[in-house]
């Protein structure tokens, strides 16, 4: 295969050293992930990053006389790439994620007719170590939500009130309530439309991974927060009709980065230290349900997990928190 000069993909901020034609391959792969697989922006970024890393590794490791690219990948290339990442200090979890991304990429190469055989079928990676998700306590969640609601009220009636700040605070309070009430992924929250809310039944219609639809309950505080956002703040973001439930500052559908900013700021204002993400709220909602007596199947349905095994991590989280509570409070712990 003919070597190429530095190539730049549409979503790359730097020049890539990859084989001739591989930039087009990456563009096609991105379209596949986005439109055919309906992957989230976060997943697309991760899969593309790993595909680029694999292609650069293969290109730079091949002989000058025969530079190799996506159409030339072998199982040996994939294993060498993973080995190099392991030597660079990547964790077993990162290696497992990279192996999964590589298998997805090579399976698509076969499906797209770019290779005759899928070299990733036999690729294995170290098993992930079981890491318990980070959660906040129910009391901490309550403090953050109350602080967010208080901030919205103060911006509305206090001496520092502002037509720009107040609607944003009302929106942010609604976002936090919905994340905690329904345990949504950030991509699912961003994809919510106004029509997704069923006020009569207090439910949300959610489009999850792989465009799978599910209906999840919506708590009264979350529904009230949505109604407040819709009735007194939403019009400040956009005058025209827009199907998205939550809007960004420019009037379009809110994106995951903006939601992460909302969550991070709310946590800091609520007195929490460390990194708090939208996924922390999702983990916390599930854990608090388990601690409150919810059965595993119900939590699985709420979270949209295709496998019950994925949901079972929350039984371990609850057990760990129980052990910690006993350790702190029991005189004979």
d(CA 272, CA 141): 10
Task: Looking at the structure, tell me whether residues 149 and 91 fall in a common domain.
Answer: no
In the residue annotation, 265 being an active-site residue is answered as: no
Task: Looking at the structure, tell me whether residues 277 and 166 fall in a common domain.
Answer: yes
Whether 269 has a pLDDT exceeding 50, the answer reads: yes
Domain assignment present for 159: yes
Residue 227: both structure tokens together: 């109604």
Whether 8 has a pLDDT exceeding 90, the answer reads: no
Task: Looking at the structure, tell me whether residues 303 and 164 fall in a common domain.
Answer: yes
Domain assignment present for 10: no
Task: Looking at the structure, tell me whether residues 238 and 292 fall in a common domain.
Answer: yes
d(CA 137, CA 72): 51
> Could you tell me whether strands 203-207 and 197-198 are parallel, antiparallel, or unpaired per DSSP bridges?
antiparallel
DSSP 277-312: -HHHHHHHHHHHHHHTT--HHHHHHHHT-S-HHHHT
Task: Looking at the structure, tell me whether residues 247 and 155 fall in a common domain.
Answer: yes
Arithmetic mean of pLDDT over the chain: 85
Residue span of the structural domain in which 287 resides: 138-329
List the catalytic residue out of 28, 209, 253, 268.
209
Task: Looking at the structure, tell me whether residues 213 and 259 fall in a common domain.
Answer: yes
Q: Order of strands across the sheet with 213-217? A: 197-198, 203-207, 213-217
- pLDDT at position 163 is 46
Give residue 258's pLDDT band: very low, low, confident or very high (50, 70, 90). Answer: very high
What tens digit of pLDDT does each residue of 110-127 get? 999 999 999 999 998 766
In the residue annotation, 128 being an active-site residue is answered as: no
Give residue 320's pLDDT band: very low, low, confident or very high (50, 70, 90). Answer: low
List the catalytic residue out of 39, 185, 283, 288.
185
In the residue annotation, 279 being an active-site residue is answered as: yes
Task: Looking at the structure, tell me whether residues 31 and 95 fall in a common domain.
Answer: yes
Domain assignment present for 264: yes
In the residue annotation, 185 being an active-site residue is answered as: yes
d(CA 29, CA 48): 8
d(CA 276, CA 261): 10
Task: Looking at the structure, tell me whether residues 167 and 313 fall in a common domain.
Answer: yes
Task: Looking at the structure, tell me whether residues 93 and 147 fall in a common domain.
Answer: no
Domain assignment present for 17: no
List the catalytic residue out of 29, 166, 180, 314.
314
What tens digit of pLDDT does each residue of 51-109 get? 999 999 999 887 665 778 999 999 999 999 998 898 888 888 889 899 999 999 999 99
Give residue 294's pLDDT band: very low, low, confident or very high (50, 70, 90). Answer: confident
- pLDDT at position 202 is 94
Bigger pLDDT: 230 or 319?
230
Question: Which of 66, 94, 111 marks a domain boundary?
Answer: 111
- pLDDT at position 127 is 66
- pLDDT at position 2 is 40
In the residue annotation, 330 being an active-site residue is answered as: no
For residue 228, the domain's CATH number is: 1.10.443.10
CB 44 within 8 Å of CB 81: no
Bigger pLDDT: 15 or 95?
95
Whether 133 has a pLDDT exceeding 60, the answer reads: yes
In the residue annotation, 34 being an active-site residue is answered as: no
Task: Looking at the structure, tell me whether residues 163 and 300 fall in a common domain.
Answer: yes
List the catalytic residue out of 282, 316, 327, 330.
282
List the catalytic residue out of 34, 242, 279, 316.
279
Predicted TM-score of the model (pTM): 0.63
Question: Which of 111, 128, 153 marks a domain boundary?
Answer: 111
Task: Looking at the structure, tell me whether residues 181 and 285 fall in a common domain.
Answer: yes
Task: Looking at the structure, tell me whether residues 44 and 157 fall in a common domain.
Answer: no
What tens digit of pLDDT does each residue of 163-192 get? 445 889 999 999 999 999 999 999 999 999
Domain assignment present for 14: no
List the catalytic residue out of 103, 171, 288, 305.
305
Bigger pLDDT: 325 or 314?
314
- pLDDT at position 324 is 66
- pLDDT at position 329 is 56
Rounded to an integer, the average pLDDT of 297-326 is: 77
State the total domains in the chain. 2
């Amino acid at each position: 295969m003919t070597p190429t000069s530095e190539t730049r993909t549409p979503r790359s901020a730097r020049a890539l050293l990859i084989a001739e034609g591989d930039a087009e391959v990456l563009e096609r792969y991105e379209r596949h992930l986005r439109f055919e697989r309906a992957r989230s922006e976060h997943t697309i970024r991760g899969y593309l990053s790993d595909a680029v890393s694999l292609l650069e590794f293969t290109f730079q490791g091949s002989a000058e006389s025969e530079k190799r690219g996506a159409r030339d990948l072998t199982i040996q290339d994939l294993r060498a790439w993973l080995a190099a990442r392991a030597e660079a200090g990547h964790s077993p979890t990162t290696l497992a994620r990279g192996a999964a991304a590589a298998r997805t990429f090579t399976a698509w190469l076969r499906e797209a007719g770019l290779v005759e055989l899928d070299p990733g079928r036999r690729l294995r990676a170290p098993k992930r170590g079981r890491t318990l998700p980070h959660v906040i306590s129910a009391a901490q969640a309550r403090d953050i939500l109350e602080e967010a609601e208080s901030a919205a009220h103060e911006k509305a009636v206090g001496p520092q009130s502002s037509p720009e700040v107040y609607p944003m605070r009302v929106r942010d309070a609604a976002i936090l309530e919905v994340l905690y009430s329904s345990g949504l992924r950030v991509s699912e929250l961003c994809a919510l439309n106004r029509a997704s809310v069923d006020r009569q039944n207090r439910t949300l219609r959610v489009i999850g991974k792989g465009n799978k639809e599910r209906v999840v309950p919506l708590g009264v505080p979350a529904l009230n927060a949505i109604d407040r956002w819709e009735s007194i703040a939403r019009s400040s973001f956009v005058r025209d009709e827009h199907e998205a439930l939550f809007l960004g500052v420019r009037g379009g559908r809110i994106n995951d980065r903006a939601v992460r900013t909302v969550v991070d700021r709310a946590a800091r204002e609520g007195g929490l230290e460390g990194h708090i993400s939208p996924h922390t709220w999702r983990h916390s909602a599930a854990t608090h349900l388990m601690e409150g007596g919810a059965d595993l199947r119900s939590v699985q349905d709420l979270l949209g997990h295709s496998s019950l095994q994925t949901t079972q991590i929350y039984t371990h989280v609850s057990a760990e928190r129980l052990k910690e509570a006993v350790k702190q409070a029991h005189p004979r712990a």
